[in-house]
Structure formats: structure tokens, C-alpha cells
Amino acid sequence: MSKLPEVAYFCMEYGIQSDVKLYAGGLGILAGDYLKAACDENYPIIGVGIKWKQGYGDQYIDRETGMPYDAYKIREYPFLKDTGVEVSVKICNRDVKIKVWKYDAHGVNNLYLLDTDIDGNDGEARWITGQLYGWFGEERVAQEMVLGIGGVRALRALGHNPDVYHFNEGHALFAGFELIREKMEIGMSFRKAWKETRQQVVFTTHTPVIQGNESHPLERFMYMGANLSMKKSQLKQLGGNPFNMTVGTLRLSKISNAVADLHRVTANKMWKKVRGKSKIIGITNGIHIPTWVDEKMLDMAANYDGSNEAKDKLWQRHLENKKELIDFIYNKTGVKLDPDVLLIGFSRRAAPYKRSNLIFRDRAFIEPLLKKGKLQIVFSGKSHPLDDGGKKIVSDIVEMTKRYPDSVVFLEDYDMEIGKMLTRGSDIWLNNPRRPKEASGTSGMKAAMNGVLNVSILDGWWPEACEHGVNGWQFGDGYENENEEECDKHDFEALKDVLTKEVIPTFYDNREKWIKMMVASINSVKNRFGMKRVLDEYYDRMYTL
């Protein structure tokens, strides 16, 4: 093979190590897994991100009200290496200095982190890299200017001139503005600089929820200086006014990808009217297997020969993982779950479309199962600090833990460690978003490779992997309805059906089939949804295009 192109990967967040709080959720987990796999495979990829002083907030439950509240801590990461490099970006008419750190730990040695919390910056500038995603439009733009503009300048100062710039979400768009500025500075016209920059940029879009796609009044870009070399009318050609970051990035990239095949269809519908956008292909996400998957489980499934001995061994290993989870839950909450009872795991951001509390829709259905020792459920997940709907969902679940204290638990302050424990030790992994709002859903891949059977709506990655009754279960048959009440009603009936007619009877009455399904789950998913496959697809279909 000819020499691989060098790639600079830009992302606001990276999930590398549970207590290194440079991540909020799935986007960061993907970015962290991507860099780890790039290191494993020795691919010429450099990550660019931000050293968040506080990162994303912790979230705890108020014991009296049962409502979640957010807490921010100053984080120190003494393992980061000082590169000695400093660059600056003009934000709101003053030079903001940016220090560049190198991350070289936890299996990642190819990540540079930008930091404005340094001497020489005024108080406000020092807080630009304070809280991941921030609270206000202006704060967000300043953060994105540091990431994008500061990021390209940092690469130059470090001596890098990458062939490809990969923007993981539209947050990185200003890196494209800097690439345009570099060209205009040496005399190129805006049109030509735009055209040539497009050839350097590829884009991964994530959110199929329209509100999740950030936009800003153009005036804000102008007075903050994010426009760099461009006039207002030129900016407008890129992203409209208000300026939509996703639209702008679609017009400033040579190719884009959605994060699952169904998401490709959704994203193409969503952005159909955007003229001059790059083609949106589907490259389904994957996970860094050594980070998330129990190696023993993988081995046992690979060598599984159907003998009684192999079955026993695999089941025993699963029980070890389940007991480890049960102890973990006991240490955190004081609740002791029963290893013989079917354990449902559910952890994800408490966004309303994910419907974390769907299973509680009808008490007459759930109560006997919980009280008669047929089911126990463990939840985890944070709501966005400004999302009252999400907070209500968390508090509803907390209410259920009070009503059914022996069989429903909620683990506060969801993080990578909780994610890892739950996707190893649960019996099934429940996922019930309103289709098609789940872009990919990598937690289901973690579960599947650990032999934790997915019970999921056909959304995100699951339509590509699901063989119903063979390696997991689907429910809802791909139903979509924009009327949320109708959609919830339909999907809840389907969930009841699959649980009572298939999942519960198989678990209690046909352990042999269950174990076979675990093996099928692991073996059918491990190659297709590992990060190595994703990297190779990025190279084949985007980077070398």
C-alpha cells in the first residue's frame, strides 16, 4: 500500500479514561475509541481537542426531591505533557493565548489539547476552556474558535501539515475558516480558497435531532472575529443566517458521513434542501474492543463448540461479570440485586427521545414482574443541565427506585466506568428511542460483544446487526410516528410483547438457547463493529477519496 495520508481529527470531547472528564457522551467516546485504535494500528492520525478545566458536570440526585443537580470540579491532569508550544487567536478583539498539551497515557499518544487557562490571559479568556460546551452562544463560539483556529495554528507550530482534516461534528468548522484564511493570505480569492479547502476536509455528522444542530447569528461571528478573512456575505454563502454549523460544514467538506446506515437515510432527508453540500455516506460507528469487551468472553465465544462444558464455562463467566456488577451497584447504592433474576441494563443520556422510562408506562404490567422476582432493572444516565424534560425523566426513574427498592436502581453520575460495568454484567441491554432519532448507539455494541443480549428498537446500528431471536431481539418492527404519544403507545405494546413472550421465557426456561444467543451475539458483531473496521472505511471512503 502507498503511504497513508496524515489525518488531523478535531473534536470538542474525548472519552479516553473514565475519570479524565474531557467527555460528555457518545461523541467523545467515539473520538477516544478512534484515537486508541489509530494508536494500536499505527495510523498517522493526530487528534486535536481541548483541555477542559472542569469538563462536563458531574450529576447527582438530590436525596429529598429526587431531582438531578449538576456539580463542577476543577480537574488536574498531571500526566499531560507540556509541548512548550503556544499559539494565539484573536477573539473579540483581543489576543487569547493558547497553550498546547500532549496526551500520552491510557493507550493514547496522538492527542493535542488546547488550554486558555494560562498566565497572560484575562479572567474571561482563561475560562474559555472551562466547561465543555458552555452555556451561552458566545461562549460556545469562543470555544470553537480555540478548537478550530487554535487547533490549526497549533498543528502548524508543531510542524504538521496534514493531508486531511476530519471534523467530528460541526463544532470544528472554524478550522476550515482558518484553512481558507491561510490561502487568502497568500493571495487566493475566496472562491478558490473555499474550493481548495473543501478538498482537505471530511465531516462526520451525528445528530438526527434538528435542535441538536447548533446555529448562531452571523453578527456574532463578525464581532467575535470568527469570520477571519471572510466577509459577512461570504459567510452567508457557507452556512446561511443564522449560520448553521452543520450546513456550513456540509458545504466545507469533500465528503461527509452519517454514523449508521439508517442515519444516512435520515441525514440525507434532513439536509435535502442544502444546495452545494458534500455527499453524505453511511459509515457505522464501532468501538475500541480492548477498552470495552471482556477478553475471556470473546475467547470463549470464538472457541465455542456447543459442548456442555463450553456452555457451562461461558455461563459461569457471564455470572462472574454479573456478580461484579451486582457488587458495584451494592457499593454505590446499598441495594443487593439477585444474580438469579433477569437483569435489564439501561444507561444513556436522559434525553426525552430516548424514553428511559418507557418500561414504566403501565404499572399493571411492570409491577408484578418486579415484585415477583422476574425482573430487575438498573439505570444510569445524566440529563443535560438545561433540559427540564430530561431531568423529569431522571426523577421519574428515581421515584421508581423508591417504589421498588429491591429491583430498580439508578446509578448517579453516569461515566465510562458505569458504562463498562453495565455493558458487561447485565443480562439484556434495553434500547427504546423514538426511531429514527438514535444516530448509532455504541453502548449496544459493547453489550453485544460481551454477550449481553440487545433488546432494542430498530434504530441506529441495530437494523444492521439484528437477527431476531438469534443474536438478540428487536421490537417495534421499525415503526415511526411523529405523533409522540402514538409512537410511545405502539412501542410500549411491542416491548411488553417481546419481554413476556420471548425474553423472559427464554431466560428462565431455555438457558441453552440463551447461551447460544450470547455466542451468536458476540461472534456476529465483533468484527463488523470494531473500530478497526471504522478506521479502514474512513481511509477507503473518505481520506483517500
Residues near ligand PLP (CB under 6 A) are 25-26, 29, 348, 414-416, 419, 441-444, 446
| Residue closer to ligand PLP (CB basis): 68 or 441 | 441
In angstroms, what is the minimal distance from the CB of 281 to ligand PLP?
A: 20
Whose CA is closest to 178, among 202, 158, 154, 160?
A: 154
CA distance linking residue 495 with residue 456, whole number of Å:
9
The minimum distance between CB 433 and ligand PLP, in angstroms, equals 9
Residues 6+ apart with CB under 8 A from 394: 61, 67, 68, 350, 356, 381, 382, 383, 410
Mutual orientation of helices 137-145 and 173-185 as an angle, nearest 10°? 50
**Residue 283 CB, nearest approach to ligand PLP (Å):** 16
Rounded least distance, CB 535 to ligand PLP, Å: 18
Q: At its nearest, how many Å lie between ligand PLP and the CB of residue 351?
A: 10
| The three cell numbers locating residue 91 | 477573539
Exposure class string for 1-17: b at 16+ Cβ within 10 A, else e: eeebeebbbbbbbbbbb
Residues present in the chain in total: 545
150 secondary structure, DSSP code: I
CA distance 167 to 134: 19
Task: Tell the smallest beta-carbon distance from residue 488 to ligand PLP (Å).
Answer: 19
CB of 445 to ligand PLP, least distance (A): 8
Indicate the residue among 22 and 164 with the shorter CB distance to ligand PLP.
22
Q: Are 443 and 437 in contact (CB under 8 A)?
A: no
Residue 400 neighbours by CB under 8 Å, 6+ apart: 357, 360, 408
Shortest separation between residue 285's beta carbon and ligand PLP, angstroms: 8
Cβ-in-10-Å burial (0-12, 13-18, 19+) of 191 comes to: exposed
What's the min distance (Å) between Cβ of 491 and ligand PLP? 17
Shortest Å distance, C-beta 412 to ligand PLP: 13
* All three cell numbers of 398: 428515581
Residues 434, 401 contacting (CB under 8 angstroms): no
Query: CA-to-CA distance for 454 and 134, rounded, in angstroms?
Result: 34
> CB-wise, 26 or 208, nearer to ligand PLP?
26
Q: Which is nearer to ligand PLP, 99 or 446 (CB)?
A: 446
CA distances from 489 to 379, 460, 495 (A): 21, 21, 10
CA distance 410 to 401: 7
The pair phi, psi for residue 312, each rounded to 5°, is -60, -45
Cβ 14 to ligand PLP shortest distance, Å: 12
Instruction: Report the relative pairing of strands 342-347 and 81-91 from DSSP bridges.
Output: unpaired
- How far is the CA of 175 from the CAs of 136, 141, 179, 357, in angstroms? 21, 12, 6, 40
Select 454 or 506, whichever has its Cβ closest to ligand PLP: 454
DSSP 145: H
